[in-house]
Structure 1
Amino acid sequence: MLTDSSAYFSINHPFDVYLSPWDNTNSPPSAELLSAMLPSGLQLISDVKALESDCLLQLRHLDDEAKTVVEFLKLQSRKIDMVLQHVMAQEQYEGDKYAATHFGGSGFTIISTEPLELGLEFKATLHIKEELVALLSIAKVQSCRLLEQAQSKLISTPNDSNHTVAHYACEFSFTVIQESDVEQLVKASLSLQQKQLKLRQLAR
């Protein structure tokens, strides 16, 4: 599925992205083929999250007398989340690992010590552990700007030493992503936004 790059807002939150260059001489895969490319661990997470989403929709129609059932299902959901956390931690992700700073339903931003060529496409795996998001997509480099020295000092990478290392903020847009994964990213961004607002209120 192709997304409209202006359709969703982006939230500031640190997470991991794994990038593998996509051969631009080949057409990007369809959403169906992308699904078939998922490793078993990511497929399990995708299936469980889809089932959980369907279940939550049905729970909204239950009346107050079903509160006990709802609480039990929430407990079961937390148990499943613990298992998924373990699966995500054990998964071996393909590609080079990058620290990412922003994400939304339209794309994400990573920090790189080298500039990336605009227009290049990558197979991108996003791993947002706090929201149990682990998904596969095809994404294109939309922009890549050199960060100012003050911003770079706030970022540490495995290759950094005592000397100053240039850092680039590279923005990607999704060119192929499953609709269910877009929904995951939107829900995750809203959930994190609520958590950030609560933290700001407590800090006042």
Structure 2
Amino acid sequence: MSETQQSFFSVPCEFTLFADPLPGDKRLVDADTLLAMMPRAFRLMAQVNEVEQRCQPLMASLSQQAAELAEYLSLQNLKLDMVLQMQLEKSTEARYRCQGVRFGGSGALVRCDHPLEPGAILEIKILIPEENVAVFAVAELTGCEREESGYSWTLDFTSIIEGDQERLVHASLQVEQRMLRARAQARREQQAP
């Protein structure tokens, strides 16, 4: 488990975040406590992601020898991931449902209809379907700003499983890479005669 004091970069991305208030003494919890707090579906998603990580070298070697089979297995994996993400979104309940604006390995920025006092401790569930990420963590609300249509919350993770934090960092890198490719493509199109 990571008790995040380090700062990671964040990227703009749409996602869903569910939040429930916690007592202040839950700000920092150990890995066993965090796992016990974690909903079963999020534990399942974490286990699926761990299995996928272990299978990546096998899939890489398989794709060199049997490209069609490797592609088929990758598509089956994607299908399973999509079903799990849909089930997580439908089954997740929380006091607050927020629209994600930015995320990274150390926190998130979201929009919510409700104000909260900075310093509030929250159990959060982050769903980023495009990146196949479902993360459960404890976060502290470090900022709450009034906006035209609600409030902007700044959340810093205080307790997160290390593998989940790595998934968020990897997903943020993937989002950044797509953004850079899109900018490069836009420049090429502008320069084209």
Number of residues of Structure 1 aligned to a counterpart in Structure 2: 186
Give matches, 1:34-113, under 5 Å: 34-60=34-60, 64-65=64-65, 67=67, 70-113=70-113
Give matches, 1:168-187, under 5 Å: 168-187=151-170
Q: Which residue number in structure 1 is paired with residue 136 of structure 2?
A: 136
Q: Distance in 1 between matches of 2:75 and 2:156?
A: 36
Q: Distance in 2 between matches of 1:85 and 1:168?
A: 26
Confirm or deny: 8 A CA contact 1:12 1:102 kept in the other structure: yes
Q: Which residue number in structure 1 is paired with residue 23 of structure 2?
A: 23
Identity of aligned residues (%): 32
Confirm or deny: 8 A CA contact 1:5 1:107 kept in the other structure: no
Q: Offset of 1:120 from its aligned partner?
A: 1.6
Moved more, 32-41 or 71-80: 71-80
Confirm or deny: 8 A CA contact 1:93 1:125 kept in the other structure: no
- Provide the aligned C-alpha RMSD in A: 2.4
Moved more, 83-92 or 50-59: 83-92
**TM-score, normalised to structure 2's length?**
0.82
Q: Distance in 2 between matches of 1:63 and 1:171?
A: 42
Q: Distance in 1 between matches of 2:26 and 2:184?
A: 49
Moved more, 9-18 or 65-74: 65-74
Q: Do structure 1's residue 4 and structure 2's residue 21 form an aligned pair?
A: no
Q: 1:27 to 1:86 in 2, by over 3 A?
A: closer
**TM-score, normalised to structure 1's length?**
0.78
Provide structure 2 residue ranges, at least 5 long, that are not aligned to the other structure.
none
Q: 1:26 to 1:74 in 2, by over 3 A?
A: closer
Q: Distance in 2 between matches of 1:118 and 1:110?
A: 14
Confirm or deny: 8 A CA contact 1:84 1:132 kept in the other structure: no
